[in-house]
Amino acid sequence: MKALSRKRRHPLAAVALLVMGLMLTGGLYAVVTTVNEAKADTTTYSSEQVNQGEKLFVANCATCHGLGASGSDNGPSLVGVGAAAVDFQVGTGRMPMQMQGPQAEQKPVQFTDSQTSQLAAYVASLGAGPAIPDARYLDGKGDATLGGELFRVNCAMCHNAAAAGGALTRGKFAPALAGVSNQHIYEAMVTGPQNMPVFNDANIPPQNKRDIITFLNTIESQGSPGGAQLGSLGPVSEGLFMWIAGIGIIIVFTIWLTSRTS
């Protein structure tokens, strides 16, 4: 006990605590995200779910999207957007929106998984639309090369070749894709949330969407062979890093080198 309290004052104690804290958060996060992915592939909904979903919708969504999800000045109609759109928007916390802005942003998820699927069930019942994707397209075991090529042609211009995100006009942006679940990536492609174009199954067939997801999983899990990636932002971050860290270190050495020894 005594030893512990002495070590508490060790200069590295804060660092150790921080590391422990980070690992704990990371671990919890990992557990939570796996749970999130584990559900999903049920595409048929019970009428009980639809009813529950309607109640949730009236209470939380109808202010903007209108009763019956027919839309209003503040929000588009949701008839025919499908369960996938709901699962993406609500499952990533983008909906319900906190405030009107250039675009809905990711934030802590407001509903439980079962509530989300109830909402999805309700919206899906209003009109045909993209369903929650089949788990076999989400396994990340497709062709990473073709996926990479499709990603560069269809996605990299907004999301960056290393999926680090990028800017759109007037405050809108394409988010970074690291940490986004495979299901949400698939749903985003098929529904085109906000200003993202729709990549329907005629444009990019499900098999190719699986390839793209495989590519994203690959680059996210393997990291860079060259070391820290500096945000994968390209030459600007590299140049800034050289000016600040590189020239900084060199200046420290030159000052030491030309100072008089005592």
Site for other proteins in 141-170 (CB under 8 A): 144-145, 147-150, 152-154, 156-162, 164-170
Q: Which stretch binds other proteins (CB under 8 A): 3-11, 55-63, 106-114, 252-260?
A: 252-260
**Least gap, CB of 49 to other proteins (angstroms):** 27
Report 38-77 residues binding other proteins (CB under 8 A). none
**Least gap, CB of 117 to other proteins (angstroms):** 25
DSSP class of residue 132 equals P
- CA pair distance 36, 57, nearest whole angstrom: 21
If residue 173 lies in a helix (H) or strand (E), which one and from where to where?
Answer: strand 173-174
Tokens of 164: 């680090």
**Least gap, CB of 213 to other proteins (angstroms):** 13
- CA pair distance 94, 64, nearest whole angstrom: 14
Q: Which residue, chain included where needed, has tokens 């971050």?
A: 237
**Least gap, CB of 85 to other proteins (angstroms):** 12
Which x/- pattern over 99-128 shows residues binding other proteins (rule: CB under 8 A)?
Answer: ---x--------------------------
What distances in angstroms separate CA 141 from CA 32, 190, 206, one per listed residue? 22, 19, 13
With contact defined as beta carbons under 8 Å apart, do 195 and 187 qualify?
no
257 binds other proteins (CB under 8 A): yes
86 binds other proteins (CB under 8 A): no
Closest-CA residue to 179 (of 216, 139, 230): 216
Q: Which stretch binds other proteins (CB under 8 A): 38-46, 59-67, 121-129, 140-148?
A: 140-148
29 vs 241 by CB, closer to other proteins: 241
- CA pair distance 262, 255, nearest whole angstrom: 14
Beta bridge partners of 173: 167
Report 190-249 residues binding other proteins (CB under 8 A). 192, 194-200, 202-203, 215, 218-219, 222-230, 232-243, 245-247, 249
188 binds other proteins (CB under 8 A): no
